Amino acid sequence: MKITLEEKLSDLTANIENYTTKTNDGLSLYQEHHLDKTYVLTPRAYKVPVRIEAVARTDSSNIRLKYAKGQIIFNWERNHDSLRCGEPSKGAAYNNMNGRIPVNEWNHFVWEIEPDFMRVTVNGTERLFLEGKFLNVIGQAGIGSAFRSNVDVKSFCVAGEETDPPPAPPKPLLFEYDETHISIPDGSLETAVQWYADHLGLEPKPGSGPCLLHPSMKGILMMFPDGRGSLHLITVSEDQEHFRVIRGQADSFRMQLKAKDVNAAYAYAQENGIRTSSLFEERGGTWFHLYDPYGNRLTVTQGKDSDVGQAGSGIYSCDMPVVGVSDLERSVQWYTKVLGLKKSGRVSGDGHAMMRGNYRHSGAIVNILQLVHEPDCSNPAASRPGVRQYFFVERHNLKKAYQKAQKWCTLVSPLQDKSFYFYDPDGNRINVFS
C-alpha cells in the first residue's frame, strides 16, 4: 500500500525551549546558547520504509535532517563541503564532499530510507547513497539548526507508517568527547602540515579545521588515506592563558599511531633525524614515542594491517587515545564520576580499561579513550602539553560542569571565554569548551 506524503510542519515540536518562531513562510529555527542537537520533531514515530521531504534555507551553516538515531548535516560548521551522515539504525558516521548548499535560498531536501538502503537528494540531485540494514528502524523525523545558524522551514512532509515513538533516549552526558588538538607555534602551520605529510603520510583537508575556541585560532584537519583517522593541527595566540604551551612537556595522555612495522618506523625516524624515545616492549607489544619539530609527543605502535599503503615511516593510521594512570581502579572511578564515562567490560582487561562516552559529532556512545596502568607514570604539576584532549559542554550546562570539576578536582583553571581545564589524579589535563 502506497503511503502518501503528509504535511507535518504545524505538528512539529521543539526539543528545547525558545527555539521556534512562526513566520509568514513557516517556521524559523534559532538558538543562541544550545549549539548542537536542537531540532523540531514529529510527535509520532515512523517505520521503514519512510520518506522525509523538507523545503528549507539557512543564513549560514547547518541544516540538519533527523530520523531515529540518524542525521544528515548540510553546510557543516567546519567545512560546508563535507556532508555529515549518521545512519538511522545505530548512528554510525559516514561523510562525503557533497554537503554544500547555497545560503539564503530555498532548497528541496528528500531523505528516503528503505529496508536495505537510504538515499538523500537536494533539488533533485543525489548527494548520498548508502546501503544498510534499516528494516526494523523506528523513529521520529525532524529538522534543525546548529551553531547559531538561522534555519527557515517552509514545508516538512513525511510518508510512512506511523507508530508510537520509542522510549526517549537517555540524556547526553554532561561532558561529550570532541577531539584532540596538536598545538603548533604561531606562524608555523604551513611548515607543520608539510612535516606531517612527509613523515606520517597525512593529507591536509582544505577548509576543515578545529572548533574555533578563540578568534585567533587557525587550524587544519590532517587525514590518513582511506579514512584511517585524522589529526587536528592548530595554532592560537598564547596570549590567552588557556592556550599557553610548554614546548616539549607532556603528561601521560598520548595519541597512538599505527605502523605497518614498528621497528622499521623507529629506524626511519632515526635515519631522518626525528627525535624519539627508546623502543619499549610492554604488555605484549612494541612501541616508541616520536616528537614533531615543536616538541609534541606522539606514540607509535604495531598495527595489524599488513596490506596498506603508507608513508616512508610505515605509519598509516591513528588509534584510540591512551591515558597512563598509576592506579587503574581509582582512575576508572574518577573518569566515571567526573566525566560520566563508562567502563566497557567487553574490551577491557588486565592493566587497561576502555572507557565509553558520547562522541559529540555523531551523538553515538563509542569507545572514547583507554586507561592503561603505568605505576610510574609522571604526575606533572599544572602541565601545559601541546597535545590536548577536548570535551564539549552545552552552553547552558557550562556552569554546572565547572562546579562539578571544582567538587572533584584540586586544581581547576578559571572559567574564561567559555572554556576551562582541570587535571585527573595523575596530572593528565582535561580541557573543556562550550
pLDDT at 251 (0 to 100): 81
Q: What is the CATH number of domain 176-433?
A: 3.10.180.10
pLDDT at 1 (0 to 100): 40
Please say whether the structural domain 6-163 has been given the CATH code 3.50.50.60. Answer: no
pLDDT at 45 (0 to 100): 95
For residue 361, how many other CB atoms are within 10 A of its CB?
19
Q: Domain coordinates of the chain in residue numbers?
A: 6-163, 176-433
pLDDT at 149 (0 to 100): 92
The reported pTM is: 0.70
pLDDT at 211 (0 to 100): 63
**pLDDT one digit per residue (tens) for the chain, 434 residues:** 456 778 888 999 988 777 889 999 999 999 876 677 789 999 999 999 999 999 999 999 999 999 999 999 999 988 899 899 999 998 888 889 999 999 999 999 999 999 999 999 999 999 999 999 999 999 999 999 998 899 999 999 999 999 988 776 656 678 888 888 899 998 899 999 999 999 999 988 766 666 667 777 888 888 888 778 888 898 887 777 888 888 877 788 888 899 989 999 999 999 999 999 999 887 678 889 999 999 999 999 988 876 665 668 889 988 888 899 999 999 999 999 999 999 987 655 678 899 998 887 766 777 888 898 888 776 656 678 888 899 988 888 889 999 999 998 878 999 987 889 999 998 899 999 88
- The C-alpha cell of 225 is what? 588515506
